Chain A
Amino acid sequence: MMTGWNDFIWYASASSLLWITGSVLSFKKFRTGNVIFASGILIYLVFIILFWKSLGRAPMRTMGETRLWYSFFIAVTSWLLHLRWRYKFLLPFGAVLATVFSVINILKPEIHSTTLMPALQSAWFIPHVTVYMVAYAVVAAGLLVAVASYFKGEELMKMTDDLTRIGTALILIGMLMGAVWAKQAWGTYWAWDAKENWAAVTWLFYVSYLHIRSRYPLKRNLAVITLAVAFVALQITWYGVNYMPAARKSMHTYTMTD
């Protein structure tokens, strides 16, 4: 049996429902809420696995496919961090964000071809994309906590710092894997390609945030603005870059060469 984008709406609705129910319930009953939330993750994972098998390749090539992982890792990350740190709003945050990205996928179905071009056939492909997706989810959580700190108290910034440190390190690891892969595929580890440059911009903004926090711990507004700007840069790196003049020469826009 083949599982494709047509089936996605059923799995996504079930998962979203379980995520939202679980996160609301977790305020009253920690354990039950967490179990229900986890079952939502499990259903989503089942879709990814069946979809992967039907495609015959990793679903990590198109925008829609990477958003699939984004939803998945946001849910997983918020669930794990909630177990670890017990911040109540983490689960609803994860539920809403993961649902939003699923809805985008349902409303804007993109055309998917079932084959992978030779340049993408590398052992680095899956870890490179996966690490980036986890990183994106973690820094997104960091920004949300920073915004929440204006309502719930400045001590929440400690958590934003932790999340952003982890996310920044993950962004760097993703970029390093990209460099090693680029050397294998294109002959150079850094080609000054549009996507590469924006990836460096994103990482450097997060690095700036960490430095600003360590030097000026009391200037919260400055730090949060930097974090918001970094998040915008991240969106540009992820998909915005495809619409820029520089993208015409980019080696990262695989859909254009099909």
Chain B
Amino acid sequence: MESLQITPALWAFPVSLILAIAVLIGIWSIGTYYKATKFYRIATGIPCAVILTLIMILFLIIEGTFGNEMHKTWLFVIPAIMFMFSLGLVTLRRIKNRSGLGFIMNHAGLFLVVWAMTFGSADYMESRMIIYKGGSENLGFMEDGGTMPLNFHIKLDNFRTEYYPDGTTPRQFYSDLSINDKKMTASVNSPVKYDGYMIYQSGYDVRNGSYTILQIVRDPWLWIVWTGIAMLAIGSLIMILKKI
């Protein structure tokens, strides 16, 4: 398994963007100039779509059952890229034919999500940062042991815990932060945003609340995923409305 591991850092920006655009150009050229080929006929057929879907299902079942990170191996990534191509070609054909808004929304939306997930994974950065009350910090620690320095400091003005009426079960955790004199409060389920970074309430000092643990996330491809999700939502609603 070790040798099959992928290293997303290999295609970090700008390689990610170049590869992603290359995939779009590839799909567009096949769908425009090679429509008469057998490859195109097979790749855009339903049997191909179903078989690729079943392969995706197989890997998701393995990972969902045993928790091994299948999605970080070439075994998963190669069929996922084939899935992406097949989906892209079918979507392009329907867009060119201008037929079926629901179909286009569902297929194009899923394509965008898979596409942005695949290439955006290299540019996704996440780290955890410990800040003591009154202190400030600009260095986050990543899961692989590396560090993620920010070009601003986050100061923890206060950390607060809110309890249920029983007085012992926590209801919510708040970190009052200031960044370059800008005040903001992060709590569970409501992160704050600064300079392209999302800052999450992630943990705290369980003994006496003297420090907070923040999660710092950079996800520059996120807006493409949101676009795909919005299209899928519209496509699903169309599917339902057509049947009621």
Contact = CB atoms under 8 A, between A and B. Distances in A.
Interface of A: 84, 115, 117-119, 121-122, 162, 165-166, 168-170, 172-173, 176, 179-180, 183-190, 192, 194-198, 200-201, 204-205, 207-208, 211-212, 214-215, 241, 244-246, 248-249
Interface residues of B, number: 50
A192 B50 contact: no
Interface stretch (B6-14, B19-27, B168-176): B168-176
B197 to A, nearest CB: 11
B159 interface: no
B243 A166 contact: yes
Given A122-B189, A176-B233, A246 B53 contact: no
Contacts of B137: none
A6 B60 CA distance: 40
Contact of B244 (A117, A166, A197, A215): A166
Contacts of A185: 188-189, 200
Contacts of B64: 194-198, 201, 241, 244, 246
A43 B45 CA distance: 50
Nearest to B64: A197
B89 interface: no
B237 interface: yes
B189 A115 contact: no
Nearest to B238: A169
Contacts of A166: 239-240, 243-244
A205 B67 CA distance: 20
B50 A208 contact: yes
B54 A208 contact: yes
Given A188-B124, A194-B63, 7 more contacts: A118-B170, A170-B240, A179-B229, A184-B191, A192-B69, A194-B64, A249-B67
16 contacts: A115-B171, A118-B172, A170-B240, A176-B233, A184-B191, A189-B225, A192-B69, A194-B67, A198-B61, A201-B61, A204-B57, A211-B49, A241-B64, A246-B65, A246-B66, A246-B67
B229 A170 contact: no
B229 A245 contact: no
Contacts of B239: 165-166, 168-169
B126 interface: yes
Nearest to A180: B229
Contacts of A188: 124, 126, 217, 219
A244 B69 CA distance: 15
A172 B53 contact: no
Contact of A215 (B47, B164, B222): B47
Residue with the highest number of chain A CB atoms closer than 10 Å, among B67, B124, B222, B243: B67
A155 B170 CA distance: 55
A245 B66 contact: yes
A249 to B, nearest CB: 5
Contact of A184 (B189, B232, B244): B189
